Amino acid sequence: MSSREVRDRLYEQFARVGKVTGHPKRLELLDLLCQGERTVEELAHAVELKLTTASAQLKVLREARLVSVRRAGKHVYYGIADDSVCRLLQAVQEVARTQLSEVAETVRTHFEARDPVEPIDVTELQRRIRAGDDVVVVDVRPRTEFEAGHIAGAVSIPLEELSGRLAELPEDVEVVAYCRGPYCVLAPEAVEQLRAAGRRVRRLEVGYPEWRLAGLPVEAPRVT
């Protein structure tokens, strides 16, 4: 095999990954799977697709070996093939933000305008947790995602339950809310609600996947 043939074969496979990820719903599915394993029914509901359509999109991702399948009794669970898939998704998001003005504008109007206080970064939050500073970390993702894995010590209060559970949060402690990642809309909405209720609150600049991939403490069930 010539050098040209080797290069052609390699770049054909590289393009295969790019082609598979070049679909908004597939990227959203990968984003959800970076939170933890999910059934096709859960995924279809979360991304607002018909079950057959979601199954078809997952099949494409599976054929490209970006997702894996695990059977447990009558249930079939989808998950990411490995952490490199989540890193690929994060790289795509970062390139889009730095190179596409449309992404930057959406972030400005739907994140920064709604939450003018600078988010807390991973380093500062980890320092405060280690120092025992008064801070409560709140995971506002759906409960199934929290149960699949979360920042160690975080409290689960899904966004839709937040208004009815404010009394569970100490009034004299700063709240740090987080969700799926830097482009997840759940944490900014939680910050708005908490600030309107008079609470001191900041948003974590990243989400659970970024925290986990950074090697920081998490709590997650063991898969057998």
Measured distance CA(191)–CA(186) in Å, rounded: 9
Q: Which one is catalytic: 34, 86, 179, 184?
A: 179
91: Cα separation from own chain's centroid: 13
Pick from 57, 76, 79: which is nearest to 68 by CA?
Answer: 79
Amino acid 175 reads V
Q: Active site includes 184?
A: no
Task: Write out the catalytic residue numbers.
Answer: 179
